[in-house]
Structure 1
Amino acid sequence: MAVTIKDVAKLAAVAPSTVSRVIADNSRISEATKQKVKKAMKELGYHPNLNARSLASQSTQTMGLVMPSSGDVVFQNPFFPTVLQGINECAHEKKYALHMTTGKSDDEILAAVVNMVQGKRVDGVILLNSRVDDKVIEYLMEREFPFVVIGKPAEHADEITHVDNDNVRVMRDATEHLIQLGHHQIAFIGGSRDLMVTIDRLSGYQQALKNAGIPLKDEYIIHEEFLREGGQEAVSELMALEDRPTALVVVDDFMALGVLGTLDELGIKVPEEISIISCNNVLLAELAKPSLTSMDINIFDLGYQASKSLIELIENCGEPTKRIIISHQLVERMSCSELDEK
């Protein structure tokens, strides 16, 4: 005969409703009671039927993840596997499954999200980046469907729960580090202009130069895709200039890896002839040759807090809108040096 909630309740000396609340991880149940009920469940070999719970509550116990582009491109950049680890860690703790969707164009991604929401496959959605003129955000807001954005929304930021770094300050701090090393000819290698992270990081770079009284050179600002090839193309263009920069700020470690490879092919030594600082501090930054000085933006925490915030929105319709800023710090390695004025 199958073990029931009533059997667990009897052994734990609590009401059946208390067992149900423990299974749902209700915060109002004391830790002592939770441990007592879990011990009884283990002794009896009781396993809750999560599917039945979902049907009864009209909940799927599933979060949707909206990837920014087709999966084969996304997973080239280590940022995304790391942020997904953070999302999954919290989802696992709260017994939520993950449903991932993407597309090769913005229209395909929107269509996939519409199918996911209208098909009632998920209880809420996490967007893994923030774009200018984002149709997915517009759709989710119109539907009043629970969602969280990793990154600062381009519009209605005070109405949307989002988890982000202070990306203006991230790049301002990075650029100021190079200025302190004596560099004044500093170029910026950024990602797509449609992404809010690129817009904010460019602003931080510009602020740092302005504060130091360094003239801004348009030819020192290059935008490419967040890929290794993007870094290769950008630095090739910069090194072809008559007045080359002595230092580079790169918005992404993976792009910086392409930068290093191209500089090596050109016979330009890092950091002796040019200094490089990048962002995100993924494992590649440490393994690169030379190892990259990088701004650590705590990617895992971005994912974990986004997952936590979405579950709170799903389980409490009155949950207030939040803006969560994840800290950052400079990790100094071997790719930067003081400018030799010789």
Structure 2
Amino acid sequence: MVTLKDIARECKVSFSTVSKALKGSPEISHETTEFVQKKARELGYHPNFAARTLRTNKTYDIGLIFEEKTGVGLQHEYFASVISGIQKVAFQKGYDITFVGGNSLQNYDYFSHALARNYDGVAILSCDFDSQGIVDLLKSDVPVVTLDYYFDSKHSAVLSDSAAGVKELTEYVISMGHTKIAFVHGEDTWVTQQRVGAFKKTCKEHGIKIPEEYFLEVLYHDADGCAEATKKLLSLPEAPTCIFYPDDYASLGGMRALSRLHLTLGKDISIVGYDGINLTSMMIPPLTTYEQNGKLIGKAMADALFDQIEKGSQFTPKKEFIDGRVLKGGTVAKLK
């Protein structure tokens, strides 16, 4: 079996340099890292994870909790980009990621699971934060970072600034002359509350009163639900001129309903989404939406989690907001 000492001897560098280069440590130059990793491949080196676990008392495994209700799973493009950002940092540090969750694990005991698997840390992307298993996990000594949910000052949280995003989108729609604006939002979560609150506040600041029937709830990522909500909104005696959807994928259902009514986007009716996924950017016209920087969010989550794993009780929790940007697209008409 090829060892780190064998690689160090072949490369004529120290054992420490080889160890750091194989982990992709920034302490080692790019050229040396490439040279050492290439030599390791040539020699047929394979890391002994069992030995490393015994030596360090770590499993080098991160649990990633991702629950969602529509069954789409990792096909959700926004969450896929967040996971990609987490993976990149984890792999650079020599850690694996284990996915836990799905639409069938409601009320699952995540705390007991984390203890049984001995995760070095857990990243929570989406779940029922009121479930006992999640509450117990957050109250434990297991390093945890959360996405779009702030539990307490002892834990790090990374948040996409949903309130700022919806405010920017609403300001843009109003600047285009719209006052009859409907808001189709996701299920009741902290994120949803932030978005609805920002929408109502921005409209109020512009003297725009939004009737209650303009607010409808569907599940996030639910295209069929948005199709039904769209038909309901357009059947009102005074239909909206613009419809907000909870996310870009869900907006596809609304577009389907509008197409069947022979309405042209950006002309007969206006719509906006949220997330900024690639799929809707390639439409004609492209969807007007708010782009969340998923990979940057994922990187920030990973950095926060590894900060706690590596520093232990000396780490400083942080609450970090990641900004996005409005993509104006072409689905919001300019009203005279």
What TM-score results when the alignment is normalised by the length of structure 1? 0.87
Shift of the 29–168 alpha-carbon distance from structure 1 to 2, 3 Å rule, reads same
Q: Which residue of 2 is the match for residue 88 of structure 1?
A: 87
Shift of the 216–246 alpha-carbon distance from structure 1 to 2, 3 Å rule, reads same
Q: What is the aligned counterpart of 2:208 among 200, 207, 214?
A: 214
Shift of the 338–315 alpha-carbon distance from structure 1 to 2, 3 Å rule, reads same
2:261 aligned with 1:248, yes or no?
no
Aligned counterparts of 2:325 and 2:316: Cα–Cα separation in 1: 29
Task: Say which is worse superposed, 200-209 or 298-307, in terms of deviation.
Answer: 298-307
Shift of the 265–32 alpha-carbon distance from structure 1 to 2, 3 Å rule, reads closer
Q: Which residue of 1 is the match for residue 115 of structure 2?
A: 118
Shift of the 86–18 alpha-carbon distance from structure 1 to 2, 3 Å rule, reads closer
Letter in 2 for 1:79: Y
Give unpaired runs (5+ residues) of structure 1: none
Q: Give runs of aligned pairs for residues 9-28 of structure 1, distance below 5 A.
A: 9-24=8-23
2:324 aligned with 1:328, yes or no?
yes
2:17 aligned with 1:47, yes or no?
no
Q: Which residue of 1 is the match for residue 275 of structure 2?
A: 280
Shift of the 186–71 alpha-carbon distance from structure 1 to 2, 3 Å rule, reads closer
Paired residues of 1:23 and 1:48 also in contact (CA < 8 A)? no
Aligned counterparts of 2:129 and 2:291: Cα–Cα separation in 1: 25
2:267 aligned with 1:268, yes or no?
no
Q: What is the aligned counterpart of 1:312 among 307, 317, 326?
A: 307
Aligned counterparts of 2:136 and 2:165: Cα–Cα separation in 1: 31
Shift of the 287–114 alpha-carbon distance from structure 1 to 2, 3 Å rule, reads same
2:153 aligned with 1:148, yes or no?
no
Give unpaired runs (5+ residues) of structure 2: none
Shift of the 71–114 alpha-carbon distance from structure 1 to 2, 3 Å rule, reads farther
Task: Say which is worse superposed, 2-11 or 205-214, in terms of deviation.
Answer: 2-11
Instruction: Provide Cα deviations, 1:294-333, integer angstroms capped at 9, x if missing partner.
Output: 1111122222322232223222212211222222111121
Q: Which residue of 2 is the match for residue 102 of structure 1?
A: 101
In the TM superposition, residue 262 of structure 1 has moved relative to its aligned partner by 0.7
Paired residues of 2:162 and 2:195 also in contact (CA < 8 A)? yes
Q: What is the aligned counterpart of 1:133 among 121, 130, 137?
A: 130
Aligned counterparts of 1:73 and 1:322: Cα–Cα separation in 2: 31
Aligned counterparts of 2:280 and 2:158: Cα–Cα separation in 1: 23
Aligned counterparts of 1:28 and 1:106: Cα–Cα separation in 2: 41
Q: Kindly, what percent of the aligned residue pairs are identical?
A: 28
In the TM superposition, residue 184 of structure 1 has moved relative to its aligned partner by 0.7
Q: What is the aligned counterpart of 1:224 among 218, 226, 229?
A: 218
Q: What is the aligned counterpart of 1:190 among 185, 206, 226?
A: 185
Aligned counterparts of 2:102 and 2:290: Cα–Cα separation in 1: 30
SS in 1 for 2:166: helix
Shift of the 290–10 alpha-carbon distance from structure 1 to 2, 3 Å rule, reads closer
In the TM superposition, residue 285 of structure 1 has moved relative to its aligned partner by 1.4
Aligned counterparts of 1:25 and 1:291: Cα–Cα separation in 2: 39
Aligned counterparts of 2:42 and 2:129: Cα–Cα separation in 1: 54
In the TM superposition, residue 124 of structure 1 has moved relative to its aligned partner by 1.1
SS in 2 for 1:276: strand
Paired residues of 1:130 and 1:149 also in contact (CA < 8 A)? no
Task: Say which is worse superposed, 234-243 or 169-178, in terms of deviation.
Answer: 234-243
Paired residues of 2:243 and 2:272 also in contact (CA < 8 A)? yes
Aligned counterparts of 1:282 and 1:249: Cα–Cα separation in 2: 16
SS in 1 for 2:196: helix
SS in 2 for 1:280: coil
Q: Which residue of 2 is the match for residue 77 of structure 1?
A: 76
